[in-house]
Amino acid sequence: MRYSDELIDKVREANDIVDVVSACVPLKKRGANFVGLCPFHAEKTGSFNVSPTRQIYKCFGCGKGGNVFNFVMEYENLTFPEAVKMLAGRVGIELPESPEDDSPEKRLEAGRKEKILAALKDAAGFYYRTLRSPEGVRAQQYLLERGLDEETINRFGLGYAGKGGVTLYDHLRKLGHSDEALEGTGLFYSEKNGMSDRFFNRVIFPIMDRQGKVIAFGGRLMGTASKAPKYLNSPETPVFNKGSNIYALNVAKRTSRDTYLLCEGYMDVIALHRAGFDSAVASLGTALTPVQAKILRRFTSRVALTYDSDGAGQAATLRAIPILRAEGLDVRVVNLSPKKDPDEFIKEYGADAYRERLEKAEPAFFFEMEAGRVNLNEADPAELAKFNVMLARSIAKHTDEMVRYSYIKASSTRYGIDEAVLTRAVNDEGLRLQEEAEKSPANPELAYVREADPGSYASGEAGRRIREAAPKGTVKSEHMLISLLATHPAFIPLVREDLRPDELSDAAAAELLKRIYDRVDNNRPVSPAVLAGDLTDADSSAAAARILMGAEDEELMDEEGSRKAFCDTLATVLNESFKRSGATMSFAEVAKRRKSIDALIAKIRK
């Protein structure tokens, strides 16, 4: 699905990136840029920069960056066409019904999804009304006995599926929904004699996306039936994927609380909201997925896991911790003992007692460590050493040096380990983790380790060697040159014939230079914002934004300063390229190249 380049440019230019970002992130003016706390990773000091002149953003903490489309895609978890549609609606730009290369198949699929959503909305209304009918009296009584009031029942749109059979099917057919759309809802079984209702004799929990659209349902059985499961959820459909949605996020996203409470079940979430904890959500009864963790990170920097306190719940907690941590979230664990879940705990002890437990929720790190100490024989040196290695490795996974230092001090006291010994062990494990991360680039749990400064894990000579191995002046100059070309397109014709992309040592800079030339050759505009948008995947856009933010110093923005900076930077880049390639040239070729570089620089300086 693609809109025309002209239309995309029009939408981008109509949406000032500072206005769009500031609606989601508090920003403060600092020099030529605006700065705030990054919405994509946890930080205490703002490293998230937005440039009004370049119309791009860049976080110098986590590396995210791009133009206004990239920001909306990342923040709202949207596809590019969805981001274009959202931003176009924001400024009142009408989009064509069918983008240029939208195939008939894609148009058909989009239309089918709209019909499925319409049927799901009407189904939610049917369940809602059935709960309030004589048929739903028993279900109403059940909900009241569970401590829910009418306001809470209405807020979450709870309903009731009655006797089943074809009751819902007949109702939706009378409203004009086709069998094809109804089959796509996941609400019916297809049988020889037609369709029959999936849900019957169940309290119904509508599952909504972040925009409040009904996309699926969960049902809790009333009474007992030997073969029927207590809880039954919608299957995956064209509009519903369990691992990509979070229950009650459409309600919780309006909270003013800093910490989101992650539960296992619907009733836990609703009980917490009823008790005043309006940031409670659930992962739809599935094991937490990296996609769900990524979505949570867009709304909060801290998650308190409040899973069941039984063995299965504790195991689920241990699985969830590294997934949440990989997204940079501060993870805590709420102790619900002696009760099984938040619903039971609040019923027995009340909201104030839960609030106290929440305030005392320990860091997930110590929850993991204590789980590792279960059945530990501290009298066995081999077992104790194994635990200490696990401790050091867990601390090393924190890429912030000050955070590691804090955990080293706290763990040294808590577990009786010499602080200097533990520090050395943590540094050793950190270097091993980075080696593993390089060998396993697809491992999401090592992504945050890969981004850490290698030198911060080593001291003395080892640290010095690691830090000095990092690329310095040449790459920095190449980045500065690309930034100046993007910001001052008038410089491009001066180098078009004398600087090839393959002469640059940095792959990201070379790719941007190629795209700059392609745009010029096709009479298309060049700017930091359009170049960041040309690179569609998140990693490439982030790399582009890092380069394109490089020359933000205000003195470089006037004509004299920018020309001087351009000349100096171009001279450095060409001379470094000349040094790399000179060894393969003949004497005559070297002399000719040297002369052409000197002539070009002299020409530009004049």
Identify the burial level of 298 via C-beta atoms within 10 angstroms of its C-beta, where 0-12 means exposed, 13-18 middle and 19 or more buried. middle
570/555: higher pLDDT: 570
Question: Looking at residues 97-113, what average pLDDT do you find?
Answer: 65
For residues 128 and 157, is the Cβ–Cβ distance under 8 A? yes
pTM comes to 0.63
Q: Is 231 found in the same domain as 123?
A: yes
Answer positive or negative: Cα dihedral of 237, 243, 244, 246. Answer: positive
Q: In what order do the strands lie in the sheet with 65-66?
A: 28-30, 33-36, 48-51, 56-59, 65-66
Which three-class secondary structure state does DSSP give residue 281? Answer: strand
Q: Is 573 found in the same domain as 587?
A: yes
In 10 A of CB 330, how many CB atoms?
17
Q: Is 233 found in the same domain as 110?
A: yes
For residues 281 and 248, is the Cβ–Cβ distance under 8 A? yes
* Cβ-Cβ contacts under 8 Å for 277 (sequence gap 6 or more): 257, 261, 351, 354, 355, 358
Question: Over the stretch 457-493, which tens digit does the pLDDT of each residue have?
Answer: 654 444 444 334 434 567 888 888 888 888 888 888 8
Share the mean pLDDT of the chain. 83
3-state helix, strand, coil in the chain (%, to 5): 55, 10, 35
Q: Please give the single-letter amino acid code of residue 302.
A: R
Rounded to whole angstroms, how far apart are CA atoms 251 and 208?
9
Q: Residue 18 domain-assigned?
A: yes
Question: Over the stretch 211-268, which tens digit does the pLDDT of each residue have?
Answer: 789 999 999 998 766 577 888 999 999 999 888 899 999 899 878 788 999 999 899 9
Of 100, 73, 109, 98, whose CA–CA distance to 6 is shortest?
100
Read off the pLDDT band of 535 (50, 70, 90).
Answer: low
Length of the chain: 606
Query: Which percentage of the chain shows pLDDT scores above 70?
Result: 84
Rounded to whole angstroms, how far apart are CA atoms 279 and 281?
7
The confidence score (pLDDT) of residue 422 equals: 92
Question: Over the stretch 260-318, which tens digit does the pLDDT of each residue have?
Answer: 999 998 999 999 999 999 999 998 865 899 889 988 887 888 999 999 999 889 999 99
Q: What is the DSSP string of 54-122?
A: TTEEEETTT--EE-HHHHHHHHHT--HHHHHHHHHHHHT----SS-TT--HHHHHHHHHHHHHHHHHHH
The confidence score (pLDDT) of residue 216 equals: 96
The confidence score (pLDDT) of residue 23 equals: 85
Q: Is 415 found in the same domain as 303?
A: no
pLDDT of 98 strictly over 60: no
pLDDT of 136 strictly over 70: yes
The CATH number of the domain holding residue 293 is 3.40.1360.10
pLDDT of 583 strictly over 70: no
Q: Which domain holds residue 162?
A: 104-240
Strands (E), 241-400: 259-263, 280-282, 302-305, 330-333, 362-363
Rounded to whole angstroms, how far apart are CA atoms 177 and 122?
10
Question: Over the stretch 8-57, which tens digit does the pLDDT of each residue have?
Answer: 888 998 999 999 998 888 898 888 789 998 888 777 778 899 988 889 99
User: Which neighbouring-strand residues pair with 190?
Assistant: 195
In this structure, of 60-74, 293-307, 524-538, the range with the lowest mean pLDDT score is 524-538
Q: Is 204 found in the same domain as 133?
A: yes
Q: Residue 490 domain-assigned?
A: yes
The CATH number of the domain holding residue 33 is 3.90.580.10
> Which of 408, 434, 468 is where one domain is finished?
468
Q: Residue 356 domain-assigned?
A: no
Q: Is 457 found in the same domain as 489?
A: no
Question: Over the stretch 151-161, which tens digit does the pLDDT of each residue have?
Answer: 999 999 999 99
Say whether the peptide bond before residue 235 is cis (omega within 30 degrees of 0).
Answer: no
The CATH number of the domain holding residue 576 is 1.10.860
Q: Residue 98 domain-assigned?
A: no
Q: Is 564 found in the same domain as 585?
A: yes
The CATH number of the domain holding residue 216 is 3.90.980.10
Q: Taking phi first (over 0 means left), then psi (-120 to 50 degrees means alpha), and beta for anything else, what does residue 275 get? A: alpha
